[in-house]
Amino acid sequence: MKITLVGYMGAGKTSLGKNLAFELGLDFYDLDIEIEKRSGFSISETIFNKGELFFRKLEREILMEILEKDDFVLASGGGTPCYYDNAELIANKSFSIYLMYSVPTLFCRLDGKQKQRPLIAHLDGPGLKEYIGKHLMERMAFYEKSTQIINAESKTILELSKEIEELIHD
């Protein structure tokens, strides 16, 4: 079983992915962590020092390697499906799940955590909410290429894990 979680930053892909992998007895990969291991730098440092194009090429290379493995849960980066043909690749090579949240919910989940997120480090309040809304609109078409879309609003990690387990066992 190959499962890839996609969605906007703050959607809980890593937390859910770890729990789901444990419940299903699968390996867990966080694409951002795999990129950091390979590059030797944080995501922010990699983008700052090498540029976004270098980062996206490395992201694609590692994504393709992981998708060739068996029995895993992968937490993709928020932008991963939006570059190259990554959305189609993810959907073709794994059971992909878009964790869908509203802009107000994503704002609540991200507000106060900007320092750990390079794309929003300079934003707060209304500027952050506006950025999330615009950015999410740009990315939604890519996210919606997933095998399954789950409305994750107001659901706990355990509830989401159970819902996904039911989907994959049907």
Any idea what DSSP says for residue 12?
A: -
Examine residue 167 and state whether it is found in any structural domain, yes or no: no
Examine residue 148 and state whether it is found in any structural domain, yes or no: yes
Examine residue 36 and state whether it is found in any structural domain, yes or no: yes
Name the band, by pLDDT with cuts 50, 70 and 90, for residue 170.
confident
Residue 95 is predicted with a pLDDT of 97
For 140, the domain range is 2-160
In 3D, which of 34, 20, 25, 116 has the Cα closest to residue 76? 34
Which spans in the chain are helix H? 13-24, 31-39, 43-50, 52-67, 86-93, 103-110, 125-143, 157-169
Examine residue 169 and state whether it is found in any structural domain, yes or no: no
> Torsion over CA of 46, 52, 53 and 56, rounded to 10 degrees?
80
Examine residue 98 and state whether it is found in any structural domain, yes or no: yes
Tokens of 14: 């890593």
Number of domains in the chain: 1
Beta bridge partners of 3: 73, 95
For 16-51, what is each residue's pLDDT tens digit? 999 999 999 999 999 999 999 999 999 888 988 998
In 3D, which of 82, 75, 38 has the Cα closest to residue 56? 82
Average pLDDT of the chain to the nearest whole number:
95
Examine residue 168 and state whether it is found in any structural domain, yes or no: no
Examine residue 100 and state whether it is found in any structural domain, yes or no: yes
Would you say residue 157 has pLDDT above 90?
yes
Spatial neighbors of 99 by CB under 8 A, at least 6 apart, are 5, 6, 7, 11, 12, 13, 16, 150, 152, 160
Residue 121 is predicted with a pLDDT of 87
124: Cα within 13 Å, side-chain hemisphere? 5
CATH code at 70? Answer: 3.40.50.300
Examine residue 41 and state whether it is found in any structural domain, yes or no: yes
For 82-103, what is each residue's pLDDT tens digit? 999 999 999 999 999 999 999 9
Would you say residue 106 has pLDDT above 80?
yes
* Residues of the chain above pLDDT 70, percent: 100
Tokens of 21: 């992998």
